[in-house]
Amino acid sequence: MLDVVRLDSRYGRIPALAGVDLRVAAGELVALVGANGAGKTTLLRAISGVQPASGGEIRFDGRDLARLSARRRVQLGIVQVPEGRQVFGPLSVEDNLLLGAFARGSRDGLEHVLAMFPALERKRREPAGTLSGGQQQMLAIGRALMANPKLLLLDEPSMGLAPRLVAEIFAQIAGLKAQGTTILLVDQNARAALAIADRGYVMETGRVVLSGPAADLLRDPQVRQAYLGL
C-alpha cells in the first residue's frame, strides 16, 4: 500500500530524513521506533503531505504523491492522528468528530465511531477541552476514523497517559488492526508498539538502521538495550 523510497527531507539547511526506505502492506500494523529527534514524526508528516520532501519518492497504492497536497492525500485515504492530539477544545466531541469527515462531506460513520468509544458517546455534547487526556486521544483517533482512512498514521498515541490508559489505547489500536485497518504507528513506548505490530523499523538521526518482524526486533539485543531498557 505504501512505498517510501530513499526519502530525504530538511528543515531549512538541517537534514531531518536521509534516504529512508519503508514499506507498509495492506492490513499491516507497522511500528516505527527510535529516540526523540530520530525523524519519526517528520516521516509521518512527509507521508501525509505536511512536511515537504527534498528527495526520494512516496507512493500510495502505486500512485506518486509528490505533487499532491495534504488535503488530496486525505481524500485518497492517508489520515494522520497528530502528536499531542490537537483536538478543538471549545467545540463539542461530536463536532470534533464531524470535522474529521469534512474532506468527504459526510456524517456517515459517526454512530459507529461513537459506539467504538463509549466514553465519547457519553460526552458527545460536551466541549472536547473538558475531556481527560485518554479521552482526548480516543477523540483524536475517532476523528481520523471519520475520514475513512485506508492508511492510519498514529503519532505518539500514548504520550502523557497513565499506564492503565496506555494499555487501553494500545488495545484499541490492536482492535483497529484486527478489523483490517492499515496502520503506521510511532510511539516512544517501543515495547508496547512492537508487541502489537507485524513489522518494525528503528530510526536514528533521520535514517532507518534496523527493520524486520516485530517479534525479532523485540528479541534483538541492540533494540532491547537502546529502546526497551533491558
- pLDDT tens for 152-174 read 999 999 888 888 888 889 999 99
- pLDDT band at 227; cut points 50, 70, 90: confident
Q: Is the pTM of this model over 0.85?
A: yes
Query: Where is pLDDT greater, at 1 or 104?
Result: 1
- pLDDT band at 135; cut points 50, 70, 90: very high
What pLDDT digit, counting tens, does each position of 183-214 carry? 999 998 899 999 999 999 999 999 999 999 99
pLDDT at 107: 77
CATH code linked to domain 2-226: 3.40.50.300
Q: Please state the domain extents for the chain.
A: 2-226
pLDDT at 174: 95
Our measurement of the distance from residue 154's CA atom to the centroid of its chain's CA atoms, rounded to an integer in Å, reads 1
Q: In the predicted model, what is the mean pLDDT of residues 66-90?
A: 92
Is the sign of the CA dihedral 205, 209, 211, 214 positive or negative? negative
C-alpha cell at 146: 471519520
What pLDDT digit, counting tens, does each position of 1-50 carry? 999 999 999 999 899 999 999 999 999 999 999 988 899 999 999 999 99
pLDDT at 229: 65
pLDDT at 162: 84
SS3 for 171-212, per residue?
Answer: HHHHHHHHCCCEEEEECCCHHHHHHHCCEEEEEECCEEEEEE
Q: What percent of the chain has pLDDT over 70?
A: 98
Q: Do residues 89 and 128 lie in contact, with contact meaning Cβ atoms separated by under 8 Å?
A: yes
pLDDT at 105: 63
